[in-house]
Amino acid sequence: MPPWRSTGTDGEAESPQYAGEYVLEAELGSGGMGVVHLARSASGLKLAVKVVHAEFAQDPEFRGRFRQEIGAARKVSGAFTAPVVDADPEAGRPWMATLFIPGPTLAEHVKRNGALPVPRLRQLMAGLAEALRDIHRAGVVHRDLKPSNVLLAEDGPKVIDFGISRPSDSELRTETGKLIGTPPFMAPEQFRRPRTVGPAADVFALGSVIVHAATGSGPFDSDSPYLVAYQVVHEEPDLTGVPDDLAPLVARCLAKEPDERPTPDELMAELRTVSASYDTQAFIPDQRGPATDGSVADSPVGSPVGSAIGSAVSSVVGSVGGASEAPTHRRRVPAVVSGPASDGVRRPSRRRRLWMGIGAGIVVLALGGGVMALGGEEPDATPAGRERPVGERPVGERPVGERFRAWEAEVSAEGVRASGVARCVYSSAALYCSRPGLLAAAVDPEDGTVRWARAGAAEGGPKGGDGTVEPPVLAGGLLHVLADDGRRLTALDPGTGRTRWSHDLTGYGGRFAHAGGVVLLTAADSTVTALDAATGERKWRHRVEGLAQPTFRSYGDGTAYAVGLDGTRGTRVVAVDPESGATRWERRLGGALTLVGARDGVLWFTSTSASFADTDAVVRYDVEGRTKKRIALRHPVAGAQTVVADETVYLLGAQGALVAVDTRRAEQVWRLETSVSFPSAPVVADGRLYFSAGDGRLIAVGAARGEPLGQTEARPGAARDSVVSGLPVPVAADGKVFGATPDGVLFGVDGAKPGSW
């Protein structure tokens, strides 16, 4: 490959001939970070290749930000963005190649042609709302949405340039005192507290973009960026020229406080009511059912989605229904502990069997990183509850020979309307759950009856949060939950729900973990405090040498593991005795590794690729023998969530790729494309994998060969236009599987009969 012409900062340096293997044919444009060139792949595919300015190539911070841009762009789908084709952030001049999308930017179009007509304006607003929903589902905040970063393609607007975006799990933060963005399109919080900018900032920018598209100028206009910043923070927007039917919605987008702005899904829902002539909701064909010959039936004639699914999905998925067994109908049970069922309880509806092939055509709800937030009562509050009627069977017991019958319920407490998705943990005595508005509840796993419940935070979660909660943890014979917006760890009696002890978590920044009968809390100064899970009393307190602010993981083997980066491409693992705090051993391993399992002296890791932050391998490490075995994946998996069963590691990617790696035989044994976007983490039980989809489906796959076994119906319900932040992991135990849906329903099904769900 010919070398770069220059590595200086002059004009010649900005005109390289190649980026990797791609010949750069023409310059498309230039920005603050780099130059975008038109190029072609070996097959003739048109590409837009961004090459960073030479002056930034030696800046480690810039390279870190460019890696982040690549990772963010790869996280989101190509439906509303320019898909990443190739990249090399480690090159002498870092570069990234995306699919070339013909069409002007919104800024160019408005400059040449003036404001957009009203129908196109509505379409633009809906398209950008869809794009932001897609971006936020991937856990990414764009932070620089503006007219020059919106391409007007034939099939709708595309959002480009993730140069200052930030994934929700990124460790890279804006430097103190440095504002990054474009002032007329920045949200107030980007000026006031740039380190805490969230998805709502993109909604503010969307409102500014729509004003620009409707009027040719922004809602805050001045020749001075300082005056613009003052207007954004303190003054009301100028909406003169914005169509009357859109102005109220745009004004909501431009609210000063983030929690007063609508979400992208709320925008889409309101746009559907604004104009009956323009429907922002994608057409979804009738559900596909089994054909009489046992194959998957064709999609309806004229279905725009049916042709996209194609024979490939049919061959991979096939029919998943049980051929000889009728579906098992669920029983609906009252949700509230006492008193009549409220009118808000969703009644049973006629059920239809769903098939895996439909998954490719359904627009699923998404997840971003969940915010740990649970409301709670005062520690001495008395929980709601009821006496067990005489003769009622004990919790968890089923008469011998009686088959488990599926059930569903909306779990709440009397007098409090909980909302959002329930997250649960199982014991032989009960299924314990938390959800926004509900601190905790004990649910009979046999029929869904609520035994006791304690109200938590107000409906919708704490102000400024996303309404998600963490599941309870059983430790030391008690039920541990987060209360007071995650600021307090509270231990409840699992039989009654009464508070046994409580501990303030302020100052630990969410760095706590359970390991056996101990709770490990890490302070900002890296001091670790161990609490007895049964009593809340301190067992020990000192620093664990080797890692700054260690966060621990435990897998039931009596050891707490702290894992962190050691240098640029190394990982340090420290094994700690949770009872005493003594370090049992520590190792330095090559590569960027994430611990995903441990058992009998063996640790399993996933390895992250340097270029794209995708999982490219599974690593098995024998502690005593100090032997490391690396099993490369045939194709990297983006956004992988994992579970380990025996010697097999299962990885479920953000775009639905499900991969099984046998670490004993050191080989990838199968891969299944499930067509589920942003699923929950998987669980394994009785030879089956279970995971949840954003539309409420529970899906089962054979663990040995990766064959689809069945799924429940889609249940978005009233939450159809909301985003679920972090899907709850299904709970599988004792032959039963429990799932939770976005419409607030908790359900239990027979794990052995997924074909009849």
d(CA 685, CA 31): 52
Structure tokens at 67: 């890696």
Q: Is 144 a catalytic residue?
A: yes
d(CA 28, CA 46): 12
Closest CA to 473 of 356, 406, 374: 374
541 CB neighbour count, 10 Å cutoff: 13
What is the distance, to the nearest Å, from the Cα of residue 478 to the centroid of all Cα atoms in its chain?
29
Buried b vs exposed e over 39-51: b needs ≥16 C-beta within 10 Å? beeeeeeebbbbb
Which of 144, 265, 444, 566 is flagged as catalytic? 144
Q: What is the DSSP string of 585-616?
A: EEEEEES-EEEEEEETTEEEEEEE-TTT--EE
The burial of 607, by beta-carbon neighbours within 10 Å (0-12 exposed, 13-18 middle, 19 or more buried), is given as buried
- Extract the runs of DSSP E, i.e. beta strands, from 559-714: 560-565, 570-576, 583-590, 593-599, 602-608, 615-622, 627-637, 641-645, 648-652, 657-662, 667-673, 683-685, 688-692, 698-702, 708-711
d(CA 202, CA 128): 10
Contacts made by residues 53-61, CB under 8 angstroms, sequence distance 24+ = 53/9, 53/14, 54/6, 54/7, 54/8, 54/9, 54/13, 54/14, 54/93, 55/9, 57/7, 57/92, 57/93, 57/94, 61/175
d(CA 637, CA 728): 21
What is the distance, to the nearest Å, from the Cα of residue 105 to the centroid of all Cα atoms in its chain?
29
Closest CA to 446 of 405, 386, 477: 405
Q: What is the DSSP string of 127-186?
A: HHHHHHHHHHHTTEE-----GGGEEEETTEEEE---TT-EETT----PPTT---S-GGG-
Structure tokens at 456: 């938590």
d(CA 604, CA 365): 31
Query: Could you tell me the CA-to-CA distances from 379 to 58, 432, 500, 610 in Å, in that order?
Result: 55, 19, 8, 47
Adjacent-strand bridge partners of 87: 96
Amino acid at residue number 389: P
Q: What is the DSSP string of 398-414?
A: --TTPPP--EEE---BT
d(CA 458, CA 467): 10
Q: Pairing relation of β-strands 731-733 and 570-576?
A: unpaired
Closest CA to 83 of 95, 101, 65, 67: 101
Q: In which residue are the tokens 């664990």 written?
A: 544
Q: In which residue are the tokens 């987060």 written?
A: 482
Q: Pairing relation of β-strands 407-409 and 331-332?
A: parallel
Query: Could you tell me the CA-to-CA distances from 92 to 9, 33, 51, 67, 95 in Å, in that order?
Result: 13, 15, 10, 14, 9
Query: Could you tell me the CA-to-CA distances from 348 to 300, 411, 697 in Å, in that order?
Result: 27, 15, 16
By annotation, the residues acting in catalysis are 144
